[in-house]
């Protein structure tokens, strides 16, 4: 293209982020965010990827001609959309690329002084005349490695249409020769990490497998609430050390695909060189062909996809991901309540709730300095001891009303210096509930039949149901002056509900989650001092879409070693530990048999909940009290300050949950390198008893005091020796553990 016919436009309010538009016969957009570079071009009616670069380098046009680099059968398109079963790849016309204000719900990151970092937001508008569809491609940049993309889709027809496929982000990841770069015996340059198991009690099963020639498709088992895995993956390139991190911010049914194309160049090169291309798509899926019906003139917005490219080690990738989650994805913490130590009544009082015994439980928690007390399932409904059958009837059960009911419990918790929170599984309705009898039409249905069994789901696509659920939560927050609301969701939207509408059979999951998200956006805005806590049968809904509405989340219902340690390790590849709730106590059968008390407590090296410490103060044994008090003292004085906004180092990453592994080791460190803590678990008796621990979050030029918590002994050692030579941790007993506390010597280099 001659230079005089090419117009370039660069817009940026952030020196670390910009969008550069070249207007020509083949318009292109180049996105720059920190070190990240993404170049896309419009050609042949398609908006496609040209290249990615993790070092801020612009590729010369002589290496990448200004035309569509992909054949018709190569999925280089930067999004995918199907309408009425027609794939709309190709056939678009370019309308514009504009820089607009950020219209997403995400927070701006802040600099070291607390000032908001400007966001650069671009919108590419494309029209598909044949289908009567306009697509606006929204891209958000802030100088970090993460690009956030979503689509805005408008039906310009005079009749309804059905969206039958949608991937808000897709395209090419890598395209290069690879044979000379691969280690001996490797057959593919690309590998994929994702959560392989989608059932509860198996969260964090995140590890790599090699990608063979062909397509690898993962759909999460279509669980309808992001499963107990995540709609996320890491794609790693073994040739150049690059890693893509991709997360779909969506709680419903999802699907991603990696299309790996490996071939040999036999024609022009001697010796023969091999060439690899890797394409991807990340999007929604459903049980019905039509994911969403669009009325004439209607516009909808897809969930967002967060995508980043790194050429760094696992530690750097995790820190950047945690920074993004903490500062952009999650709601801002309620000031002063970033991490609270909780106690929950479901230890010794499961299904026998009563005020006097709950008061005793509160007294045990208060004696340890617990900061918030939570009433969980079992306080409501018609029948005692049947919490699951009663859900939906959010009035106090008659067994709670004597002795003052929930108000007396809340008042006593506050009198003992604690905040007060309440569990409500607001989306569910049980067989024994009055609500189900009075409103059978509110139940979420597929082909006219309830989706779930005895504990069904309420249909949040109905405005009346939204009003009911929102009213219940709001009313209880006001009446009890709740400091925390805890949601739960023990039902899958699986298979999803559907309805006949405008001549289509429409999957209802998308509408369900639109209303679910909007409801909690309103509640959080209305009650800014309330902590909103996520739970979904333990660790479901760990996706970034759900987490953007909640301050913290239940890590898993699986509380036992050794799997519990691996779950914490796997989930913290995405989510920072200070928002992850982990239980110590007696609720789960045989929990007390897995490891000693210290190991059970150290499993809560995140955000602890106590469920069943002791039946009463009189029955609280002195030994147990000493161990719990010891751990909580360390937690408050050292662990929590190090963990909040700290760096996380996975010394044993990518552990399959169902395979035997000898060790699980996590380290948290302050960003200023002044303190580090490490928890070391011996997860299998494989004959080894020593682990060589080399901390990573230290300064080689400083001196440190290291405390071995098991022995209560310490030593002084240089950061250089710690990081290069390390420390030998000896654990003889299966499910044994050690806690290392590493602190810089005072008056040393700051």
pLDDT digits (tens, 9 = 90+) for 174-191: 999 887 788 888 889 999
Distance (Å, whole) CA 379 – CA 353: 7
Distance (Å, whole) CA 140 – CA 146: 9
Q: How many CA atoms lie within 13 A of 211 on its CB side?
A: 28
pLDDT at 3 (0 to 100): 33
Please choose, from the candidates 487, 490, 491, 488, the residue with its C-alpha nearest in 3D space to the C-alpha of residue 450: 491
Beta bridge partners of 264: 274
pLDDT at 181 (0 to 100): 80
Please choose, from the candidates 459, 279, 484, the residue with its C-alpha nearest in 3D space to the C-alpha of residue 371: 484
Instruction: Give residue-wise pLDDT tens across range 193-210.
Output: 999 999 999 999 999 999
Range 299-320 average pLDDT: 98
88-92, 261-265, 612-616, range with the lowest pLDDT: 261-265
Instruction: Give residue-wise pLDDT tens across range 22-44.
Output: 988 899 999 999 999 999 999 99
Identical fold for domains 342-428+468-490+520-639 and 649-744, yes or no, is no
Range 731-739 average pLDDT: 95
Range 651-680 average pLDDT: 97
pLDDT at 317 (0 to 100): 98
Instruction: Give residue-wise pLDDT tens across range 440-466.
Output: 999 999 999 998 767 899 999 999 999
Instruction: Give residue-wise pLDDT tens across range 332-348.
Output: 999 999 999 999 999 99
**Angle at 326 (CA atoms; ends 322, 331), nearest 5 degrees:** 150
> pLDDT confidence of 8, banded at 50, 70, 90?
low
124 or 263, greater pLDDT: 124
Percent of the chain surpassing pLDDT 90:
86
Distance (Å, whole) CA 308 – CA 80: 19
> pLDDT confidence of 265, banded at 50, 70, 90?
low
424 pLDDT exceeds 50?
Answer: yes
- Number of helices (H), then strands (E), belonging to the chain: the values are 13, 44
Architecture of the domain whose range is 649-744? Sandwich (2.60)
Please choose, from the candidates 374, 534, 550, 395, the residue with its C-alpha nearest in 3D space to the C-alpha of residue 475: 395
58-67, 323-332, 377-386, range with the lowest pLDDT: 58-67
Distance (Å, whole) CA 163 – CA 141: 28
2 pLDDT exceeds 50?
Answer: no
Distances (CA, A) of 346 to 297, 502, 535: 51, 47, 15
pLDDT at 494 (0 to 100): 86
- For residue 486 the two structure tokens come to 């805890």
The three-class DSSP label of residue 82 is: strand
584 pLDDT exceeds 80?
Answer: yes
- For residue 78 the two structure tokens come to 């930067």
Whole-model pTM: value is 0.96
Q: Is the N-terminal amide bond of 271 cis, ω within 30° of 0?
A: yes
What is the residue-averaged pLDDT of the chain?
94
CATH class of 3-328: mainly beta
2-6, 442-446, 705-709, range with the lowest pLDDT: 2-6
Longest dimension (CA), the chain: 87
> pLDDT confidence of 7, banded at 50, 70, 90?
low
Distance (Å, whole) CA 228 – CA 378: 24
pLDDT at 67 (0 to 100): 74
Distance (Å, whole) CA 689 – CA 736: 10
pLDDT at 667 (0 to 100): 98
Distances (CA, A) of 724 to 509, 672, 699, 742: 52, 19, 12, 15
66 pLDDT exceeds 80?
Answer: no
pLDDT at 345 (0 to 100): 96
> pLDDT confidence of 6, banded at 50, 70, 90?
very low
Distance (Å, whole) CA 309 – CA 35: 9
pLDDT at 165 (0 to 100): 98
pLDDT at 11 (0 to 100): 55
186-190, 370-374, 571-575, 603-607, range with the lowest pLDDT: 186-190
The three-class DSSP label of residue 132 is: coil
Domain boundaries, the chain: 3-328, 342-428+468-490+520-639, 649-744
Q: Cβ of 67: how many Cβ atoms within 10 Å?
A: 13
Instruction: Give residue-wise pLDDT tens across range 102-124.
Output: 999 999 999 888 899 999 999 99
Distance (Å, whole) CA 481 – CA 406: 11
Backbone angles phi, psi at 330, to 5 degrees: -70, 150
pLDDT at 9 (0 to 100): 60
Distance (Å, whole) CA 352 – CA 195: 37
Instruction: Give residue-wise pLDDT tens across range 508-546.
Output: 999 999 999 999 999 999 999 999 999 999 999 999 999
pLDDT at 75 (0 to 100): 96
Distances (CA, A) of 16 to 12, 103, 144, 589: 8, 20, 8, 52
CATH class of 342-428+468-490+520-639: alpha beta
Distance (Å, whole) CA 655 – CA 204: 9
- For residue 332 the two structure tokens come to 């801002």
Distance (Å, whole) CA 685 – CA 491: 37
Q: Look at the block and give the residue holding tokens 């044949």.
A: 130
DSSP 350: T
């Amino acid at each position: 293209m001659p230079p005089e016919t090419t117009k370039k436009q660069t817009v940026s309010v952030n020196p670390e982020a910009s969008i550069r538009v070249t207007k020509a016969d083949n318009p292109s957009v180049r996105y720059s965010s920190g070190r990240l570079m993404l170049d896309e071009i419009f050609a042949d009616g398609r908006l496609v990827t040209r290249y990615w670069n993790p070092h801020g380098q612009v590729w010369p046009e002589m290496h990448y001609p200004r035309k569509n680099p992909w054949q018709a059968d190569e999925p280089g398109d930067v999004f995918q959309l199907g309408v009425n079963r027609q794939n709309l790849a190709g056939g678009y016309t370019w309308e514009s690329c504009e820089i607009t204000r950020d219209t997403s719900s995400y927070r701006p990151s802040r600099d070291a002084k607390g000032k908001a970092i400007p966001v650069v937001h671009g919108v590419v508008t494309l029209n598909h005349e044949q289908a009567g569809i306009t697509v606006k491609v929204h891209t958000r940049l802030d100088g970090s490695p993460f690009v956030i993309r979503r689509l805005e889709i408008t039906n310009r027809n005079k009749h309804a249409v059905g969206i039958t496929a949608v991937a808000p982000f897709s395209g090419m990841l890598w395209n290069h020769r690879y044979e000379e770069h691969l280690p001996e015996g490797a057959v593919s340059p690309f590998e994929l990490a994702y959560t392989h198991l989608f059932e509860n009690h198996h969260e964090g099963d995140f590890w790599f497998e090699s990608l063979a020639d062909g397509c690898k498709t993962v759909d999460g088992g279509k669980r309808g609430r992001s499963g107990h895995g995540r709609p996320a993956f890491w794609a790693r390139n073994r040739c150049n050390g690059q890693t893509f991190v991709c997360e779909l911010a969506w709680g419903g049914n999802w699907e991603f695909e990696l299309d790996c194309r490996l071939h040999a160049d036999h024609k022009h090169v001697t010796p023969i060189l091999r060439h690899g291309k890797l394409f991807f798509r990340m999007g929604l899926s459903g049980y019905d062909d039509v994911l969403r019906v669009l009325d004439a003139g209607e516009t909808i917005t897809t969930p967002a996809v967060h995508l980043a490219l790194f050429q760094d080690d696992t530690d750097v990738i995790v820190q950047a991901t945690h920074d993004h989650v903490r500062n952009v994805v999650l709601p801002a913490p309620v000031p002063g309540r970033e991490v609270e130590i909780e106690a929950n009544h479901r230890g010794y009082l499961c299904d026998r709730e009563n005020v006097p015994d709950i008061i005793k439980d509160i007294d045990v928690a208060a004696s340890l300095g617990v900061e918030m007390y939570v009433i969980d399932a079992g306080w409501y409904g018609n029948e005692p001891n049947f919490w699951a059958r009663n859900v939906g009837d959010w009035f106090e059960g008659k067994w709670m009303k004597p002795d003052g009911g929930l108000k007396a419990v809340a008042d006593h918790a506050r009198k003992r210096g604690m905040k007060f929170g309440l569990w409500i599984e607001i989306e569910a309705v049980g067989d024994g509930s009055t609500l189900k009898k009075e409103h059978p039409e509110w139940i979420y249905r597929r082909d006219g039949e309830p989706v779930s069994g005895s504990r069904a789901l309420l249909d949040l696509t109905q405005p009346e149901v939204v009003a009911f659920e929102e009213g219940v939560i709001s009313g209880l927050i006001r009446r009890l002056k709740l400091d925390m609301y805890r949601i739960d969701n023990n039902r899958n939207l699986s298979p999803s509900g559907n309805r006949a509408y405008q001549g289509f059979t429409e999957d209802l999951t998308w509408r369900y989650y639109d209303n679910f998200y909007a409801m909690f956006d309103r509640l959080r805005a209305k009650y800014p001092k309330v902590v909103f806590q996520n739970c979904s049968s333990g660790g479901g809904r760990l996706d970034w879409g759900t987490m953007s509405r909640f301050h913290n989340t239940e890590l898993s219902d699986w509380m036992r070693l050794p799997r519990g340690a691996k779950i914490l390790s796997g989930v913290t590849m995405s989510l920072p530990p200070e928002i992850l709730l982990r239980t110590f106590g007696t609720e789960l059968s045989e929990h007390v048999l897995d490891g000693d008390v210290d190991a059970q407590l150290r499993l809560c090296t995140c955000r602890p909940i106590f469920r069943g410490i002791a039946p009463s103060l009189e029955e609280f044994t002195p030994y147990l009290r000493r161990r719990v008090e010891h751990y909580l003292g360390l937690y408050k004085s050292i662990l929590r300050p190090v963990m909040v906004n700290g760096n996380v180092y996975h010394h044993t990453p990518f552990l399959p949950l169902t395979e035997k592994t000898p060790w699980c080791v996590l380290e948290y460190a302050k960003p200023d390198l002044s303190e580090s803590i490490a928890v070391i678990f011996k997860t299998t008796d494989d004959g080894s008893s020593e682990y060589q621990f080399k901390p990573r979050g230290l300064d080689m030029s400083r001196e440190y005091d290291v405390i071995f918590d098991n022995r209560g002994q310490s030593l002084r050692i240089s950061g250089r020796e710690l990081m290069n030579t390390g420390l030998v941790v000896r654990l003889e007993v299966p499910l044994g553990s050690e806690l290392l506390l590493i602190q810089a010597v005072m008056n040393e280099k700051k």
